[in-house]
Structure 1
Amino acid sequence: MAPANRPEILLLSLARYCSFFDETYSSLIDKLAESATVNCAKTVTGAIRYLGEHNPKAIIITDPGLIEDANAEVLPKVISYFDNFFASGFELPWKSGDYHRTEFEFNRSCVLPQGAMTSSLPGPYSMKTLHIKNARPHEKIFVPVRNARTQSHVLPPTPVDPTQARYVAYCGDANAEEGSDKVILSLCGLRG
């Protein structure tokens, strides 16, 4: 049981990518652990038990295991947890978008989870990410800066599709950027 004054964060790692996640995102995990009780569910049984007994402040899904058929029992628990955010059983119009590095900034017209700390969000910063298509304007937390161009050491810069989002309470960051840690901590209501 977590102390009453420390929020709980659940890392949901059903595809057994946890060691990759632990290594790549060790800085984020350390920062989360400074202010919250961090638990990791690696099995269907463990995830169902945890979500039946706890109400975490945030669930961070660390890998695609949640959508695998073998883990189907966990999905209803996660859906009920996300309640209004993923209303109607994840029937969102979101699709995978482009995958590249560019400069992003906070979208002031977005709707953030209750308790999110906007003062902790970074200013414009560069990151490599899988973008999301079809997010509604209020769901886009970070968006490409005006006139953004792709950033690559190999390919020439090209214009970025400004309709795609970087965060929709989904973190597509592939390289564990420091700015991304700040965003995730802020969305969890924690200081970075």
Structure 2
Amino acid sequence: MMKPKMPIDGSKPLPRVLLISLSRESSFFGDLYGELLTGIRRAKATMQEAKSPEAAIHVLRTNPAPVIIIITDQALTLKEHAHVWNAILTSVRQGSTAVITGSFSSFARPSDLKPFFSKAGLPWEAGTYMRTTVALNPEAPGTDLARHLPLKYSQKALFLKNVAPSESWYMTNADSVLESHVFAPQSANTPGESPIVLGRVGEGRLGYVGDVNGEDSTQVVVVAMCGLLV
């Protein structure tokens, strides 16, 4: 992958961010993830949004390709958009970072996740759906980045299973309980599952954020995953 072009003044290249929003559910992304968009602007990244498969393919094939790709909905799990997903994975294997967030975990069919992630060579699949408090696994993001992330917080999320500890940014522990207004508290400790993951795919990285409500802490984490903390 070619490096981003240098600005005219010779300063550090501005990261190119592409939002891919192919479903009508993506219209809520700005409402849920306003802090994330603010973080992108604060990092002075150049941001584009593709709302059609054709637009997404066009931007992905530009030179240089986007360094950061944010997938805001579940549309890429559908067969008619498989070619867009393949193009994203090509970009990731060449060094881009793609993060799946927004309404993806709310609307994607759990049975679609295993074949979806298998295209990236990852064994991830749908796990538990629940609200609980998860704790930061500092070894996954690295100790330097972990200092800027929430140590723990509550989120309602679709977890992924078959996730390696090195890929799991947040995990349940012995203190995690099912947080519900209906059911009595019970252990929610699910080893091998995580609601926020980032794994290697070729020369790049693929992230998944299962939080369905766009918690403020989650938005900080996504900005960090994208390498845009300033």
TM-score of the superposed pair, with normalisation by structure 1: 0.86
How much does 1:124 deviate?
Answer: 1.1
Q: Within 5 Å, give how 1:18-97 maps onto structure 2.
A: 18-35=26-43, 36-53=45-62, 54-83=64-93, 89-97=119-127
Among all aligned residue pairs of Structure 1 and Structure 2, give the percentage whose two residues are the same amino acid.
32
Query: What's 1:166 paired with?
Result: 195
Q: Is the 8 A contact 1:10 1:60 kept in 2?
A: yes
Distance 1:153 1:17 in 2: 27
Q: 1:117 touches 1:187 (CA, 8 Å); kept in 2?
A: no
1:153 aligned residue: 181
**C-alpha separation in 2, matches of 1:8 and 1:120:** 23
Unaligned runs of at least 5 residues, structure 2: 8-12, 99-116, 198-206
Contact 2:174/2:187, CA 8 A, preserved across alignment: no
Once the two structures are superposed, the pairs formed by residues 100-179 of structure 1 within 5 Å of their partners are 100-110=130-140, 117-160=145-188, 161-168=190-197, 169-179=207-217
Superposition CA RMSD, Å: 2.5
Which moves more between the two structures, 156-165 or 172-181?
A: 156-165
SS at match of 1:72: helix
The answer to whether the 8 Å contact 1:2/1:37 transfers is no
What is the distance in 1 between the residues matched to 2:118 and 2:185?
39
Distance in 2 of aligned mates of 1:95 and 1:163: 11
Q: Find the residue that maps to 1:120 and give its secondary structure.
A: coil
Whether contact under 8 Å (1:10, 1:59) holds in the other structure is yes
> 1:2, CA displacement in angstroms?
8.4
Corresponding letter in the other structure for 1:122: P
* TM-score with structure 2 setting the length: 0.73
Stretch moving more, 181-190 or 69-78: 69-78
Q: Is the 8 A contact 2:164 2:192 kept in 1?
A: no
Among 219, 227, 230, the residue aligned to 1:181: 219
How far, CA to CA, are the matches of 1:125 and 1:111 in structure 2?
Answer: 16
1:108 is displaced (CA, Å) by: 2.5
Output the amino acid matched with 1:65: A
Unmatched tracts of structure 1, length 5 or more? none
SS of aligned partner of 2:36: helix
Letter in 1 for 2:59: Y
Change (3 A) 1:45 1:33: same
SS in 2 for 1:91: coil
CA–CA distance in structure 1, aligned partners of residues 48 and 5 of structure 2: 10
- Give, in whole Å, the separation in 1 of the partners of 2:91 and 2:171: 26
